[in-house]
């Protein structure tokens, strides 16, 4: 079994961006407190008063500085993607792509480029929870030697709208209802589903969100696509259509709807914490970058429009070529300075990467820059350490709010003679950026290509590609979300549009949400693609979190051997008992308790190792173990049972114990348990 355990405890590699950021990293520990002007502070607890019971004085400049900074230290949160987290890392190119692009960071195998990544949800604000059913996004900032390149992706290969003009509408509908701003981090309300029912282009992405893809297990297990179509351009000026996809090395895995909802309350920071802990343990998050390439002359050879962002390019038709790997190996030092102030823009490209006429991409090239000006308060946001490129930059832009770059030149215009016309422009053949000379013709028109208007064939293909379990989960997602809609007319419209995808799907949802079965029929498409299902995704025990339910008197030798095996395969272990401290085995071995039954939950664990033991309050201990086992079993999770824990789970007519591994009379228990952990879910369990 390839568990990739060799990646454990990798050293953090230095890169150019981290070295640059060191100039701005300040450690305050052990230093005297000062004002922002470096005046040492003698008292930081009481305001300056006229006597201890007198009024405060206006001359208290320290209080004024401290309080005014406090009341202004929040900046406008992102309209979308407000809730997020991320890390630093590097990208290593697998092979030269010079045949297709002159982008410097893709020219040679082994070339490494510093990156910064931010993951996010869309609907909820900064205070929402990580595991909400939502569209997740990943922005990757490549700090290349030619300037910053921002590759923004989402966890589905399709977008909810086909033209940028519709984006404000869909987000208005998706956000909380404007009178009450309710619900938070959920599209389960009338406005959103009314939008879906009356804008059929949106159905495709919504179906992906209602599937397992909408409730990911971890950012480390998130596949994501740059749903827009870009161009690669090589040194000879030849262009190729390209779409990008990030494939997680650990595979693509999801939560169940019940788990996602409960984890939202138990640990709103579930995905953040997962990424932080994995990097701290040396289990770095890894993603392979894939490209799908189509020759310019083949633009019209497919049954989908290459410029339609609401359509995917099937991997079985347009193969994915893996060209590099990104490794996230360093947590942020300051959430606000790095994650909140990082600014992404799809217009940030390097020579060799250009734009197609994708109508959503064209609109995004304007919107992102405006958003950053508003959020970060200045046109100088690129000067912030997290946004600053590692290569020097020179231009004639000056002044503006919070300009801290000190340009010492007399001249700030082009053309000029005083500075010998510098900074000078660079010809394309010497590395200057130039746009691909696409042929453009046509009349000014507000319209959409008729080739965009097949709204149901690809959603039907997606549905056909799902396993029965995945289909049931999608039905559950739709029934929960649409079932929360108050207006019966809206619920009816939703199933009336769903029937175009699948008649049985529409009938089941209609019955579940109390409306009439629709009269329409599904589109006559039988195509399916295995790449659209998570059934064939890679599965590893590596970094899966196993809760060890244990107390005093356990079989020390047995548990020691199991722990050794789990460590060998890079499994994360959480020792759970009644109280914090240590538990002691029958042979005197001690284990440190990480969590109590009160401070963790079976919903936060991927698997259980049921050991048992002698507790001070045995009845309470037994009840807790039994509840953990019940929840884990109900959610199809692997369960390992020590020789001392068999009383907590036994076969009966109501269960078949699929995915439950017993240590008794099993000399290969450790390896068998690891295999079960790697499988992750046992859908054949009864």
What is residue 586's predicted lDDT score, i.e. its pLDDT? 95
3-state secondary structure of 22: coil
42-56, 538-552, 576-590: range with lowest mean pLDDT: 42-56
Question: For a pLDDT cut of 70, what percent of the chain falls above it?
Answer: 98
Q: Where are the beta strands (DSSP E) in 237-371?
A: 239-248, 285-295, 321-331, 353-355
Confidence band, pLDDT 50/70/90 cuts, at residue 8 = very low
Q: Maximum distance among all alpha carbons in the chain?
A: 91
- The verdict on 635 and 570 lying in the same domain is yes
Helix (H) / strand (E) element for 612: namely strand 607-612
Helix (H) / strand (E) element for 68: namely helix 61-71
State the residue range of the domain holding 590.
Answer: 545-679
In a domain, 42, yes or no: yes
What is residue 53's predicted lDDT score, i.e. its pLDDT? 86
Tell me which residue has tokens 């025990």: 541
Residues 507, 509, 515, 518, Cα dihedral to 10°: -30
Confidence band, pLDDT 50/70/90 cuts, at residue 395 = confident
- The verdict on 68 and 216 lying in the same domain is no
Tell me which residue has tokens 């010492």: 408
- The verdict on 223 and 288 lying in the same domain is yes
Q: Cα–Cα–Cα angle for 270, 134, 526, nearest 5°?
A: 125
Tell me which residue has tokens 């000190």: 406
* Predicted confidence (pLDDT) per residue in 235-261, tens digit: 999 999 999 999 999 999 999 999 999
Residue 58 clears pLDDT 90, i.e. is over it: no
What is residue 13's predicted lDDT score, i.e. its pLDDT? 53
- The verdict on 57 and 133 lying in the same domain is no
In a domain, 372, yes or no: yes
What is residue 485's predicted lDDT score, i.e. its pLDDT? 97
Residue 538 clears pLDDT 90, i.e. is over it: yes
Q: Using CA atoms, how far apart are residues 73 and 66, in angstroms rounded to an integer?
A: 10
Which of 165-179, 579-593, 642-656 has the largest mean confidence?
579-593
Average pLDDT over residues 93-119: 97
* CATH assignment of the domain containing 280: 2.40.180.10
149-153, 171-175, 185-189, 427-431: range with lowest mean pLDDT: 427-431
- The verdict on 56 and 122 lying in the same domain is no
* Predicted confidence (pLDDT) per residue in 590-645, tens digit: 999 999 999 999 999 999 999 999 999 999 999 999 999 999 999 999 999 999 99
What is residue 38's predicted lDDT score, i.e. its pLDDT? 87
Phi and psi at 577, nearest 5°, equal -150, -170
- The verdict on 282 and 328 lying in the same domain is yes
Residue 11 clears pLDDT 80, i.e. is over it: no
DSSP 421: T
Question: pLDDT averaged over the chain?
Answer: 94
In a domain, 468, yes or no: no
Nearest to 287 by CA among 318, 258, 249: 249
In a domain, 280, yes or no: yes
> Hey, what are 91's tokens?
């990208």
Residue 7 clears pLDDT 70, i.e. is over it: no
- The verdict on 580 and 600 lying in the same domain is yes
Pick the more confident residue, 472 or 27. Answer: 472
Average pLDDT over residues 69-94: 92
In a domain, 436, yes or no: no
* CATH assignment of the domain containing 611: 3.40.50.880
In a domain, 188, yes or no: no
Q: Using CA atoms, how far apart are residues 291 and 520, in angstroms rounded to an integer?
A: 38
- The verdict on 581 and 634 lying in the same domain is yes
Q: Using CA atoms, how far apart are residues 416 and 411, in angstroms rounded to an integer?
A: 8
> DSSP readout, 259-274?
HHHHHHHH-TTHHHHH
| 357, 383, 409 - which closes a domain | 383
- The verdict on 47 and 163 lying in the same domain is no
- The verdict on 36 and 104 lying in the same domain is no
In the chain, how many domains are there? 3
* CATH assignment of the domain containing 64: 4.10.91.20
Q: Using CA atoms, how far apart are residues 577 and 594, in angstroms rounded to an integer?
A: 8
180-194, 310-324, 435-449, 454-468: range with lowest mean pLDDT: 435-449
Q: Using CA atoms, how far apart are residues 539 and 536, in angstroms rounded to an integer?
A: 9
What is residue 155's predicted lDDT score, i.e. its pLDDT? 97
Number of other residues whose CB lies within 10 A of the CB of residue 87? 24
Residues 207, 223, 264, 495, Cα dihedral to 10°: 0
- The verdict on 57 and 141 lying in the same domain is no
Question: For a pLDDT cut of 90, what percent of the chain falls above it?
Answer: 78
What is residue 6's predicted lDDT score, i.e. its pLDDT? 39
What is residue 1's predicted lDDT score, i.e. its pLDDT? 42
First to last CA, the chain: 27
Q: Using CA atoms, how far apart are residues 251 and 243, in angstroms rounded to an integer?
A: 20
Q: Using CA atoms, how far apart are residues 466 and 502, in angstroms rounded to an integer?
A: 12
Nearest to 670 by CA among 561, 574, 573, 546: 561
Between helix 468-483 and helix 203-210 the angle, nearest 10°, is 110
Q: Are strands 581-584 and 590-593 parallel, antiparallel or unpaired?
A: antiparallel
Q: Using CA atoms, how far apart are residues 278 and 167, in angstroms rounded to an integer?
A: 35
In a domain, 529, yes or no: no
Query: What is the length of the chain?
Result: 686
Nearest to 100 by CA among 292, 364, 286: 292
Residue 65 clears pLDDT 80, i.e. is over it: yes
Alpha-carbon distances of 563 from 4, 7, 239, 556, rounded to whole Å: 18, 18, 54, 10
Return the percent helix, strand and coil in the chain, to nearest 5. 30, 20, 50
| Cβ 160 vs Cβ 118: under 8 Å | no
Nearest to 134 by CA among 271, 245, 307, 244: 271
In a domain, 255, yes or no: yes
What is residue 294's predicted lDDT score, i.e. its pLDDT? 98
* Predicted confidence (pLDDT) per residue in 433-458, tens digit: 888 998 888 888 888 889 999 999 99
Q: Using CA atoms, how far apart are residues 599 and 596, in angstroms rounded to an integer?
A: 5
- The verdict on 137 and 262 lying in the same domain is yes
What is residue 244's predicted lDDT score, i.e. its pLDDT? 98
* Chain centroid to CA 663: 37
Q: Using CA atoms, how far apart are residues 135 and 206, in angstroms rounded to an integer?
A: 9
| 333, 358, 383 - which closes a domain | 383
| Cβ 585 vs Cβ 562: under 8 Å | no
Q: Is 273 exposed, middle or buried (0-12, 13-18, 19+ CB in 10 A)?
A: middle
Nearest to 670 by CA among 531, 590, 569: 569
Residues 6+ away with beta carbon under 8 Å from 267: 273, 604
What is residue 333's predicted lDDT score, i.e. its pLDDT? 96
* Predicted confidence (pLDDT) per residue in 350-380, tens digit: 999 999 999 999 999 888 888 898 899 888 9
| 354, 383, 412 - which closes a domain | 383
Q: Using CA atoms, how far apart are residues 113 and 127, in angstroms rounded to an integer?
A: 33
Pick the more confident residue, 76 or 272. Answer: 272
Cα torsion 122, 123, 126, 130: sign: negative
């Amino acid at each position: 079994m390839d568990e990739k355990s060799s990646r454990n405890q990798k050293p953090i590699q230095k890169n150019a961006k981290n070295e640059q950021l060191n100039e701005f990293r300040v450690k305050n520990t052990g230093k005297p407190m000062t004002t922002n002007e470096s005046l040492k502070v003698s008292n930081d607890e009481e305001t300056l008063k006229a006597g201890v019971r007198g009024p405060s004085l206006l001359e208290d400049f320290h209080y004024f500085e401290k309080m005014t900074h406090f009341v202004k230290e929040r900046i406008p949160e992102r309209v979308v993607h407000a809730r997020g987290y991320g890390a630093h890392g590097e990208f290593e190119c697998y092979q030269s792509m010079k045949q297709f692009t002159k982008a410097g960071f893709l020219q040679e195998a082994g070339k490494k480029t510093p990156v910064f990544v931010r993951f996010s949800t869309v609907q909820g604000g900064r205070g929402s929870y990580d595991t909400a059913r939502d569209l997740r996004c990943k922005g990757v900032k490549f700090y290349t030697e030619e300037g910053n390149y921002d590759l923004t992706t989402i966890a589905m290969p399709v977008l909810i709208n086909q033209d940028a003009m519709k984006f404000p509408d869909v987000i208005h509908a998706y956000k909380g209802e404007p009178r009450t701003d309710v619900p938070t981090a959920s599209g389960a309300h009338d406005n959103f589903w009314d939008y879906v029912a009356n804008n059929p282009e949106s159905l495709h992405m919504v179906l992906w969100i209602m599937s397992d893809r909408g409730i990911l297990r971890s950012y480390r297990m998130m596949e994501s696509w740059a749903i827009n179509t870009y161009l690669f351009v090589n040194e000879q000026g030849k262009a190729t259509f390209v779409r990008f996809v990030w494939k997680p090395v650990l595979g693509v895995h999801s939560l169940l709807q019940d788990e996602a909802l409960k984890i939202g309350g138990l640990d709103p920071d579930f995905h953040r914490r997962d990424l932080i802990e994995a990097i701290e343990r040396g289990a770095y998050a890894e993603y392979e970058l894939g490209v799908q390439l189509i020759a310019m002359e083949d633009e019209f050879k497919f049954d989908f429009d290459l410029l339609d962002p609401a359509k995917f390019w099937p991997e079985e038709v347009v193969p994915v070529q893996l060209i590099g790997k990104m490794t996230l190996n360093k947590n942020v030092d300051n959430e606000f300075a790095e994650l909140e102030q990082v600014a992404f823009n799809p217009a940030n490209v390097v020579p060799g990467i250009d734009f197609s006429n994708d109508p959503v991409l064209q609109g995004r090239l304007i919107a992102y820059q405006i958003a950053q000006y508003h959020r970060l308060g200045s046109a100088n946001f690129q000067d912030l350490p997290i946004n600053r490129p590692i290569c020097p930059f020179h231009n004639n832009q000056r002044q503006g709010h919070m300009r801290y770059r000190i340009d010492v030149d007399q001249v700030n215009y082009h053309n000029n003679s005083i500075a010998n016309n510098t900074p000078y422009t660079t010809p394309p053949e010497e590395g200057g950026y130039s746009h691909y000379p696409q042929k453009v013709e046509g009349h000014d028109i507000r319209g959409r290509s008729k080739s965009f208007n097949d709204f149901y064939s690809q959603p039907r293909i997606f549905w056909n590609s799902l396993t029965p379990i995945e289909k049931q989960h999608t039905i559950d997602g739709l029934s929960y979300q649409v079932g929360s809609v108050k207006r019966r007319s809206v619920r009816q419209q939703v199933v009336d549009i769903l029937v175009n995808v699948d008649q049985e799907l529409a009938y089941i949802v209609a019955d579940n949400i109390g409306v009439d079965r629709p009269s329409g029929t599904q589109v006559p498409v039988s195509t399916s693609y295995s790449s659209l299902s998570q059934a064939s995704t890679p599965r590893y025990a590596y970094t899966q979190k196993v809760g060890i339910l244990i107390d005093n008197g356990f079989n020390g030798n047995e548990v020691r051997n199991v722990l050794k095996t789990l460590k060998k395969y890079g499994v994360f272990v959480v020792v759970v008992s009644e109280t914090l401290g240590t538990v002691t085995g029958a042979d005197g071995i001690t284990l440190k308790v990480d969590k109590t039954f009160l401070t963790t939950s079976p919903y936060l664990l991927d698997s259980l190792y049921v050991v048992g033991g002698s507790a001070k309050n045995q009845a309470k201990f037994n009840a807790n173990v039994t509840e953990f086992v019940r929840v884990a079993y109900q959610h199809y999770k692997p369960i390992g049972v020590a020789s001392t824990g068999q009383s907590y789970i036994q076969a009966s007519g109501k269960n078949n114990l699929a995915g439950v591994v017993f240590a008794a009379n099993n000399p290969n228990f450790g390896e068998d348990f690891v295999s079960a952990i790697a499988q992750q879910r046992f859908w054949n369990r009864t």
